[in-house]
Amino acid sequence: MDKRIIKGNFSRCVESYEEHAAVQKRCAEELISMLRGGSYQDILEVGCGTGMYTRMLMGEFRGAGITAVDISEDMVNAARENVGDEGLNFEVADGESIGFKKKFDLITSNASFQWFEDIDTAFDLFRNNLKPGGTLLFSMYGPETFQEFKAVLGYFFGARRWLSSSKFLLCREVEALLKKNFSACEVTEARFCAEYISIWDFLKNIKKTGTRGEGLGADIFLGKYSLMELEKKYIENFGGIKATHHVYFCRAQT
């Protein structure tokens, strides 16, 4: 993934992200339920975005020291404003190359690792930043994400990896990398289906959440009439404008 593009996408949607990020919020809530009952004093959140998951962590682990990082300075500023900085340390940093002298009980992230360029190296880094017995817990997206849109694009423009989600790792690949780097791991899959009133509404949601990845490429132009044709085929094939969010929930221990 080209991080300059990814960073730009998210920086531009600071004001609109949380209003349109219903599935991402659902994933964050699932992570919190997986953490419930645990005891964590030093927490690192990677890819904090506007602070939606950060607020949940604060509510669940009152008094814990939380360090929240994001590659986008605009997102970090928004998170700081949304959350406040009492007991929190916000930093602009690339989650794949962070370096801290302290170690954490918990490193956690919601829906950001799919944008990493080298997740194997990142897992090695996280392991080294965890205390003995520490936990890595995260959600990330899989390659079936937006599979309906991918199929419709393929019908009109030919079979090709049109969407960035085509580059996302398979579940077994994520699990293999976790097993390589951690003593124990658990990976589960989920598929959430979101529905939209039109293909324009769907594409607006992608834009407003910054999840367009590297885009479709310069050789694809979706004008008014091509979008109408896409929508017609979409409804014919899937009975409406639906979008699968393919998500992995992963836990690993040092």
Q: Can you give the pLDDT at residue 163?
A: 79
Q: Give the span between the Cα atoms of 78 and 236, in whole angstroms.
A: 41
Per-residue confidence at 189, pLDDT binned at 50, 70, 90? Answer: very high
**9 within domain boundaries:** yes
CATH number of residue 185's parent domain: 3.40.50.150
> Does the residue 220 lie in any domain?
no
Residue 209: in which H helix or E strand, if any? helix 199-209
The residue segments making up the domain with residue 132 are: 3-143+166-194+247-253
Q: Using an 8 Å Cβ cutoff, are 217 and 104 in contact?
A: no
pLDDT-derived band at 126, boundaries 50, 70, 90:
very high
237 within domain boundaries: no
Bridge partners of residue 44, in order along the sequence: 67, 107
Q: Is residue 29 part of a domain?
A: yes
Asked whether residue 233 is assigned to any structural domain, the reply reads no
For residue 244, the surrounding DSSP H or E stretch is strand 241-253
Q: Coil, helix or strand for 7?
A: helix
In a domain? residue 228: no
At residue 77, the pLDDT reads 93
* pTM of the full structure: 0.92
Both tokens of residue 155? 């019908």
Reduced to 3 states (helix: H, G, I; strand: E, B; else coil), residue 107 is strand
Residue 160 is predicted with a pLDDT of 65
The string of DSSP codes covering 217-235 is -TT----HHHHHHHHHHHH
For range 98-107, the mean pLDDT: 89
- Tell me, yes or no, whether 129 lies in a domain: yes
Query: Tens of pLDDT along 2-20?
Result: 788 888 888 888 889 888 8
Tell me which amino acid residue 104 is: F
**Tally of domains within the chain:** 1
DSSP string, 126-180: HHHTEEEEEEEEEEEE-TTTTHHHHHHHHHHH-SS--SGGGGSPPHHHHHHHHHH
User: Does 218 score more than 60 pLDDT?
Assistant: no
* The total number of residues written for the chain in this structure: 254
85 pLDDT band, cuts 50/70/90, is low
Does 64 map to a domain? yes
